[in-house]
C-alpha cells in the first residue's frame, strides 16, 4: 500500500480523503492556496505545499505545480478528489508519467466517458438504453434543426464537452431553436473550448438515478447499488438518498447490473458513478458516467458499511476487488443534505463571510447522523470556491426514520454568520411529495422559488 498520498484538492474533499488515508496508516500531503493557508481544515493533513494564490486557476488547477508537489514530498499516489482535475485525462496522464499513481481510472476511460457521444455509444454497446437524440455532436444548425424535428420537441441542446449541468439549453418550440442553438454553441466554446453540441429528447419530470460502481485493474467491476438525486436546483443536487424510492427491487437489480456491465465493458478501474434518468413511464435512460468519486458517496457508504476511499486506494495499488464485495447487501436508508452557504431568500446568492457559530447536533435521533465537513465556528469561508459547508447524512432503519432524523438534526442546527440552504432542506423533508417518495427533477418538492 502507498505510504504517502498527495491530495490534489481542498476543504471537505481533502478532509474526507485524509481521514481514510490516515486510518490506513498513510501519511497525507495536501495542496493549499494562499487563501486556504491557516484554515482549520488543513490540520487534517500531515504536510502542506503551497500551490498558488486563491483563485482555482492559480492554484488547485495548476497541474504541473500539483504533480511537482507530489513528487517532491515523496508521495507515491495522488488522489484528485472530485471537481477540479478529477476528470482531467491529461492531468491523470501527467501524474502517472512522473511516477505517481493516480487514484482513479486510466486516462483512456476519462477520454471515453468525458465526451457525451463516445460515452453514449459505449453505453449502448453495453446494453444500456440512451435518450433518443442526435447520434453524435452536430455543428451545422440546419442539420441540428432536422434532427430536432425528428426527435420531437421539447429538446435539450447540450454541449458535447460539458458536464455537471453546464452547457445546456431547453427548447420547447421550433421557433426558439435557432437562438438556443447559437447560444448553446458559443457558451460551450467559451466554457469548454469546444462548440460542438448534441441534441436529446427532453424527458420531462424525470428522476435522477445513479449507480455507484467500482472496478479493479484486473478486469472486474461491481455495482454498489443506487442513489436518487432528483432534488435539484438548476442541475445542482440538494438532497440525495439511497435507496431510490421510485424503483422496485427488480428495477434496482437491473439498473445496477447495467451499470456494472458498462464499467466492465470499458475496463473501468476505480470508483465511478453511472447516471440515469428515469422517465415518467418507467423507462430508464443512460445519461453520463462520472469517472470519479462523487460528493454524495457517503449515502452509499452508510448503507453498505464500506469505505469507498479505502477501496479506491486499494484498486490503485493493483489489488483485486474482494470477492465478498458483490455480496454486500445494503441495510437501512440514508439521506444526505448538502448544506451550502447560499441564501435561498435571495435567489441562492453565495453567502461568504465568517462562521460565527456552527453547531450541528448529531445525537437527536431517532436514527444516526454522519457529518462530513471541513468548517468550524470561527472559520472564514473564502469566496473563491464552491459554497458547500457540510454534508449531513442521516441513516435510519426505514426511510421515514431517516427523514425524521435528518429533519430533527437540521432543525436543531445553529449556523450563524452566513445564510445557508437549511430552510430549503427542511421544506423538502417536510413536503408531502418527498415523504411519499413522489418527486422529480422538474421542481424542488416543498419549495417554490
Partner 1 sequence: MAHVKVVPIGSPREMALDATARLKNRAALLEKEARLAERRAKVQAGWGPTYVDRVHQKGKLTARERIELLRDEGSDLFEVGTFANWGRAFGKLESPAAGVVTVFARIHARWCVVIANDNTVASGSWWPRTPEKIERAQEMARRLRLPVVYLVDCSGLYLPEQSQSFPGATGAGHIFKMNALLSFEGVPQIAGVFGDCIAGGGYMPIISDRVYMTEGAYMVIAGAALIKGAKSQELSSLDIGGPEVHVHASGCADARAPDDETALALIRADVARLPSSGADYHRGGVDAAPPFHEAQDIDGLFPSDHRHTWSVEEVLARLVDRSLFKEFLPARGREIVCGVARVGGLWTGFIANRQGVVEDAEARDGAKPAGILYREGIAKTAAFSRACEADGIPIVWLQDIAGFDIGLEAERLGLLGYGSSLIYANSTNKVPMYSVLLRKASGAGYYAMAGLPYDPIVQLATPLTRLSVMEGRTLAIATYRTKLDANFEIATDDPEERAKLEQAMQDTEARIEGDMDPYKAASQLDIDEIVRLSELRPWLVALVEMAYQSIGHRTVKNPRIWSLHDLDALVEPR
Partner 2 sequence: MDAKLRIECLAEVVDGRVRLSSPEVGLYAQAPAPGAVLVPGARLGVVLRLGVVHELVVPPGASGVVVGEPPARLRHPVGHGDLLVELEPVSTVGPAQAASKAASGANDLLVVKASSSGRFWHRPAPGEPAFLEEGQRLAEGQALGLLEVMKTFSHVGYKSGGTLPPGARFVRYACADGAEVKAGAALVVVEP
**Least CB distance from residue 94 to partner 1, whole Å?**
7
For residues 192-231, which are near partner 1 according to CB under 8 A? 193
- Burial zone of 328 (CB within 10 Å; 0-12 exposed, 13-18 middle, 19+ buried): middle
**Least CB distance from residue 93 to partner 2, whole Å?**
13
Cβ atoms of 314 and 226 closer than 8 Å: no
Q: Is 92 in the site for partner 2 (CB under 8 A)?
A: no
For residues 26-55, which are near partner 2 according to CB under 8 A? 34, 37, 48-53
Q: Is 63 in the site for partner 1 (CB under 8 A)?
A: yes
**Least CB distance from residue 222 to partner 1, whole Å?**
23
Distance of CA 67 to the CA centre of its chain: 24
**Least CB distance from residue 56 to partner 2, whole Å?**
14
SS3 at position 116: helix
Is 292 one of the annotated active-site residues of the chain? yes
72 binds, among partner 2, partner 1, none (CB under 5 to 8 A by kind): partner 2
Give the DSSP per-residue string, 368-419: EEEEEE---TT-EE-TTS--EEEEEEEEESSHHHHHHHHHHHHHT-EEESS-
Residue from 3, 23, 43, 64 touching partner 2 (CB under 8 A): that is: 64
Q: Is 93 in the site for partner 1 (CB under 8 A)?
A: yes
Q: What is the rounded CA–CA span in Å between residue 281 and residue 238? A: 24
What is the maximum alpha-carbon separation in the chain? 61
Which of 10, 65, 278, 292 is catalytic? The answer is 292
Q: Which stretch binds partner 1 (CB under 8 A): 88-96, 114-122, 376-384, 388-396?
A: 88-96
Q: What is the rounded CA–CA span in Å between residue 165 and residue 232? A: 10
C-alpha cell at 387: 459554497
Residue from 28, 89, 224, 315 touching partner 1 (CB under 8 A): that is: 89
- Report how far apart the first and last C-alpha atoms of the chain are (Å, whole number): 49
108 binds, among partner 1, partner 2, none (CB under 5 to 8 A by kind): partner 1
CA angle 392, 389, 290 (to 5 degrees): 75
Q: Is 107 in the site for partner 1 (CB under 8 A)?
A: yes
Catalytic residue positions?
Answer: 292
Q: Which residues bind partner 2 (CB under 8 A)?
A: 34, 37, 48-53, 59, 62, 64-69, 71-73, 98
Q: Which residues bind partner 1 (CB under 8 A)?
A: 63-64, 89-90, 93-94, 96-99, 106-108, 111, 193
Amino acid at each position: 500500500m502507498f505510504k504517502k498520498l498527495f491530495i490534489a484538492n481542498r476543504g471537505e474533499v481533502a478532509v474526507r480523503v485524509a481521514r481514510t488515508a490516515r486510518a490506513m496508516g498513510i501519511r497525507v500531503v495536501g495542496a493549499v492556496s494562499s487563501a486556504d493557508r491557516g484554515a482549520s481544515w488543513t490540520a487534517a493533513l500531515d504536510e502542506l505545499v503551497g500551490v498558488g494564490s486563491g483563485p482555482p486557476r492559480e492554484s488547485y488547477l495548476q497541474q504541473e505545480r500539483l504533480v511537482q508537489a507530489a513528487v517532491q514530498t515523496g508521495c507515491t499516489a495522488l488522489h484528485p478528489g472530485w471537481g477540479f482535475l478529477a476528470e482531467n485525462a491529461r492531468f491523470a496522464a501527467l501524474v502517472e508519467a512522473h511516477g505517481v499513481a493516480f487514484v482513479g481510472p486510466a486516462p483512456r476511460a476519462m477520454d471515453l466517458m468525458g465526451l457525451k457521444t463516445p460515452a453514449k455509444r459505449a453505453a449502448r454497446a453495453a446494453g444500456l438504453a440512451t435518450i433518443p437524440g442526435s447520434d453524435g455532436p452536430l455543428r451545422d444548425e440546419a442539420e441540428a434543426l432536422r434532427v430536432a424535428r425528428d426527435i420531437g420537441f421539447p429538446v435539450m441542446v447540450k454541449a458535447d464537452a460539458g458536464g455537471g449541468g453546464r452547457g445546456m439549453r431547453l427548447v420547447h418550440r421550433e421557433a426558439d431553436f435557432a437562438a438556443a442553438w447559437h447560444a448553446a454553441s458559443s457558451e460551450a466554446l467559451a466554457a469548454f473550448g469546444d462548440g460542438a453540441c448534441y441534441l436529446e429528447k427532453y424527458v420531462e419530470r424525470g428522476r435522477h438515478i445513479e449507480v455507484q460502481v467500482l472496478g479493479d485493474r484486473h478486469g472486474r467491476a461491481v455495482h454498489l447499488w443506487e442513489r436518487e438525486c432528483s432534488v435539484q436546483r438548476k442541475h445542482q443536487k440538494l438532497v440525495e438518498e439511497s435507496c431510490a424510492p421510485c424503483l422496485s427491487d427488480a428495477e434496482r437489480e437491473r439498473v445496477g447490473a447495467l451499470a456494472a456491465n458498462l464499467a466492465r465493458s470499458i475496463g473501468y478501474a476505480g470508483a465511478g458513478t453511472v447516471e440515469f434518468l428515469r422517465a415518467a413511464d418507467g423507462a430508464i435512460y443512460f445519461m453520463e458516467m462520472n469517472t470519479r468519486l462523487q460528493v454524495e458517496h457517503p449515502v452509499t457508504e452508510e448503507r453498505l458499511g464500506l469505505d469507498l476511499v479505502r477501496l479506491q486506494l486499494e484498486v490503485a495499488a493493483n489489488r483485486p476487488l474482494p470477492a465478498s464485495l458483490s455480496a454486500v447487501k445494503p441495510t437501512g436508508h440514508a439521506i444526505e443534505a448538502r448544506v451550502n452557504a447560499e441564501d435561498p431568500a435571495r435567489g441562492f446568492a453565495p453567502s461568504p463571510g465568517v462562521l460565527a457559530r456552527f453547531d450541528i447536533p448529531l445525537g437527536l435521533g431517532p436514527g444516526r447522523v454522519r457529518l462530513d465537513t471541513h468548517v468550524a465556528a470561527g472559520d472564514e469561508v473564502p469566496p473563491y470556491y464552491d459554497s458547500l459547508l457540510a454534508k449531513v447524512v442521516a441513516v435510519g432503519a426505514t426511510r421515514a426514520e431517516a427523514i425524521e432524523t435528518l429533519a430533527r438534526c437540521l432543525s436543531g442546527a445553529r449556523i450563524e454568520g452566513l445564510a445557508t440552504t437549511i430552510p430549503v432542506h427542511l421544506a423538502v423533508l417536510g413536503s408531502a411529495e418527498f415523504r411519499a417518495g413522489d418527486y422529480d427533477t422538474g421542481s424542488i418538492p416543498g419549495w417554490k422559488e
